């Protein structure tokens, strides 16, 4: 605990926590990773500050390695989840707090377990049996509404509290919605258990002028002493696989004078390191004005970094300002070196624009260019992957002295995107290895994500509640690929107890290949069919048809899957 106190004492808060009043609800806000990782999450910081500024809550933080002093018991237990593979850690944290793992086993004296974040907003079903409440969407308005409703019903029995919460837009109470299956185990839909409960739950969208920024600065964060400012939310490009774009629509930008500059100035009172975050920060309509403002002499000691930017927006001004403000590199997402594949995914980016981005980066004084790409995208062939290697090698030849890094992942289908019906392509594994064989000997640094873990990520992103016993079974060994596959086989062969919904047994899960690798039919009922994202299913199908249209098809037949 001494080390934990030392870490917490090094924090600089950019908000004023409220002193808990008598009778304040004892609340734990957990993050499924270490303090260093969790405290770097802007979403976690935002939720923590929102709760800690309320005098009717007594909030403590919990990470996998440490946390604030614990309550003897708590009334609310919350989890912020931004990555599928962190989901099983929830069960370890619940067990540590002596909270029953399954929601239907909790009584009036147990806390309300709630969660939010992009993973749970997209598809909460695999983890639904462990949560009492899931908050769908942006927390700025949804979180205060949720806490107000909890306070209003705090003295009522548990079932009445949950029923009251289920009436509020954006609040999903899984135990009050029952999945229905056909005799052969196909999902038919998810319906409310009682007639006066809403049939559909819609993601809530924050439309205020301001977005989020850091609420705590600490040298112990994964990005030490950084003040993070959200420049944009969502992305206007709508790449067909992209959860960060589709799930967070519409594209929102705070004004420069009333939103961004005050947010930046607030953090610079505590640090001289600034991170500008967003899916496509350079597409803020006043981004060039922000760069000009940051180029003032009074910021000469400021170190500025930006998240991934659209390649076509890399300009001499951007590269020069970043170089003068301490950045050594800029990151662009190209997805593929193949012109055809970029058309398939709606990446409106030409080879010339990629070349220009590299040239401007070097001319502006940057030392390296980082690129993001994917393998295994729908209709991809070996030639498309070769085109990615060719592009990197050409860039290296045309821009001598600039270092190149390619981060490459396997395509994983995400809910509420046009490619949610597509499966993981098994050929992706050998294509990652092919890129390594071609690029590493030529001095291009390759940072591939594990194909095996991408498969587990897809299992979590595409499953329904029948996966819950598997998640419970891998608890404590979730870092073993073999452990996941063994637990899934056990669930199918009835070695594990069947999944249940509010205590009612469900069918066994479908075949592994069906969940992970198969392309699903357009009319198939999806696990998240009862949850409304920003765009309806018909629109997503239209976007998928555009992506896979004959004009974007490969010249030869696609590789077999």
Whole-number Å distance between alpha carbons of 264 and 243: 27
Dihedrals phi, psi of 505, to nearest 5 degrees:
-60, 145
Q: What would the two tokens of residue 43 be?
A: 């979403």
* Residue 5 pLDDT: 57
Q: What would the two tokens of residue 466 be?
A: 């029948």
Whole-number Å distance between alpha carbons of 281 and 243: 16
* Residue 169 pLDDT: 97
Whole-number Å distance between alpha carbons of 37 and 221: 7
What is the per-residue pLDDT across 114-124, written as a single tens digit (0 to 9) for each? 999 999 999 99
* Residue 477 pLDDT: 72
Where are the domains positioned within the chain? 2-202, 227-451, 461-552
The Cα-based distances of 539 to 347, 408, 418, 480, 534 in angstroms read 18, 28, 8, 38, 10
Helix (H, G, I), strand (E, B) or coil at 214: coil
* Residue 53 pLDDT: 98
Dihedrals phi, psi of 148, to nearest 5 degrees:
-60, -40
* Residue 500 pLDDT: 79
Choose the CATH number for 227-451 among 3.40.50.1000, 3.20.20.70, 3.40.50.10310, 3.30.360.10. Answer: 3.20.20.70
Whole-number Å distance between alpha carbons of 64 and 68: 12
Q: Are 65 and 35 spatial neighbours (Cβ–Cβ below 8 Å)? A: yes
What is the per-residue pLDDT across 48-59, written as a single tens digit (0 to 9) for each? 999 999 999 999
Helix (H, G, I), strand (E, B) or coil at 351: helix
Alpha helices, DSSP H only, in 63-103? 89-96
> Is the sign of the CA dihedral 409, 414, 417, 422 positive or negative?
positive
Low-confidence ranges of the chain (pLDDT < 70): 1-8, 556-561
Q: Are 258 and 209 spatial neighbours (Cβ–Cβ below 8 Å)? A: yes
Angle between helices 139-152 and 158-165 (to 10 degrees): 150
Q: Is 257 exposed, middle or buried (0-12, 13-18, 19+ CB in 10 A)?
A: exposed
Residues found in the chain:
561
Q: What would the two tokens of residue 534 be?
A: 């920003």
* Residue 207 pLDDT: 87
**Which residues neighbour 488 within 8 Å (Cβ) at sequence distance 6 or greater?**
459, 470, 509, 512
Helix (H, G, I), strand (E, B) or coil at 158: helix
Q: Are 423 and 516 spatial neighbours (Cβ–Cβ below 8 Å)? A: yes
Q: What would the two tokens of residue 148 be?
A: 């107000």
Whole-number Å distance between alpha carbons of 191 and 176: 8
Nearest to 104 by CA among 131, 77, 124, 80: 131
- Full DSSP string of 428-497: HHHHHHHHHHHHGGGT-EEEEPPHHHHHHHHHHHH--GGGHHHHHHTTT-TT-HHHHHHHHHHHHTTSSP
Choose the CATH number for 2-202 among 3.30.1490.20, 1.10.3720.10, 3.30.450.20, 3.40.50.280. Answer: 3.40.50.280
Phi-psi region of 98 (alpha: psi -120 to 50; beta: other; left: phi over 0): left
Whole-number Å distance between alpha carbons of 302 and 292: 14
Strands 25-30 and 329-335: unpaired
Q: Are 349 and 312 spatial neighbours (Cβ–Cβ below 8 Å)? A: yes
């Amino acid at each position: 605990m001494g080390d934990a106190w030392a870490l917490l004492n090094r924090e600089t808060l950019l908000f004023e926590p409220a002193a808990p009043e008598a009778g304040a609800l004892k609340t734990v806000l957990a993050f499924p990773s270490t303090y260093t990782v969790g405290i770097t999450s802007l979403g976690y910081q935002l939720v923590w500050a929102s709760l800690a500024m309320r005098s009717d809550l007594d909030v403590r933080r919990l990470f996998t390695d440490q946390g604030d002093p614990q309550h003897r018991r708590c009334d609310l237990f919350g989890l912020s989840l931004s990555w599928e593979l962190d989901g099983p850690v929830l069960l370890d944290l619940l067990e540590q707090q002596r909270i029953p793992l399954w929601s239907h086993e909790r009584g009036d004296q147990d806390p309300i377990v709630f969660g939010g974040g992009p993973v749970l907003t997209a598809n909460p079903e695999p983890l639904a049996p462990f949560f009492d409440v899931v908050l769908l969407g942006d927390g700025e308005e949804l979180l205060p509404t949720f806490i107000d409703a909890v306070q209003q019903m705090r003295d009522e029995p548990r079932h009445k509290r949950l029923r009251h919460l289920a009436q509020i837009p954006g609040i999903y109470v899984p135990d009050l919605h029952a999945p229905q299956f056909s005799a052969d185990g196909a999902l038919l839909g998810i319906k409310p258990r009682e007639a006066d409960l809403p049939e559909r739950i819609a993601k809530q969208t924050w439309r205020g002028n301001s977005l989020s920024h850091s609420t705590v600065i600490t040298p112990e964060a994964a990005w030490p002493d950084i003040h993070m400012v959200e420049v944009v939310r969502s992305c206007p490009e709508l790449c067909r696989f992209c959860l960060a774009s589709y799930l967070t629509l519409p594209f929102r930008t705070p004004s420069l004078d009333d939103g961004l500059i005050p947010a930046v100035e607030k953090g610079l009172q505590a640090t001289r390191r600034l991170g500008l975050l967003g899916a496509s920060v350079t597409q803020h309509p006043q981004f060039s004005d922000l760069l000009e403002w940051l180029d003032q002499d009074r910021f000469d000691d400021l170190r500025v970094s930006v998240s991934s930017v659209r390649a076509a927006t890399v300009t001499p001004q951007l590269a020069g300002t970043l170089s003068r403000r301490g950045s050594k590199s800029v990151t662009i997402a190209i997805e593929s070196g193949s012109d055809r594949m970029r058309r398939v995914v709606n990446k409106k980016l030409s080879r010339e624009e990629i070349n220009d981005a590299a040239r401007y980066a070097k001319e502006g004084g940057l030392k390296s260019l980082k690129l993001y790409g994917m393998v295994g995208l729908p209709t991809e062939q070996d030639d498309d992957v070769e085109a990615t290697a060719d592009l990197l090698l050409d860039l290296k030849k045309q821009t001598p002295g600039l270092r190149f890094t390619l981060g490459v992942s396997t395509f994983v289908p995400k809910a509420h995107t046009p490619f949610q019906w597509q499966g993981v392509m098994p050929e992706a594994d050998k294509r990652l290895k092919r890129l390594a064989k071609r690029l590493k000997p030529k001095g291009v640094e390759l940072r591939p994500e594990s194909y095996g873990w991408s498969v587990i990520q897809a299992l979590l992103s595409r499953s329904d509640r029948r996966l819950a016993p598997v998640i419970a079974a891998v608890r404590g060994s979730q870092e073993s690929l073999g452990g996941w596959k063994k637990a899934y086989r056990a669930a199918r062969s009835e070695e594990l107890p069947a999944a249940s919904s509010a205590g009612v047994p469900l069918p066994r899960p479908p075949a592994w290949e069906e969940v992970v690798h198969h392309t699903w039919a357009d009319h198939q009922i999806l696990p998240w069919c009862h949850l409304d994202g920003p765009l309806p299913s018909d629109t997503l199908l239209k976007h998928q048809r555009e992506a896979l249209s004959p004009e974007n098809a490969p010249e030869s037949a696609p590789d077999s899957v």
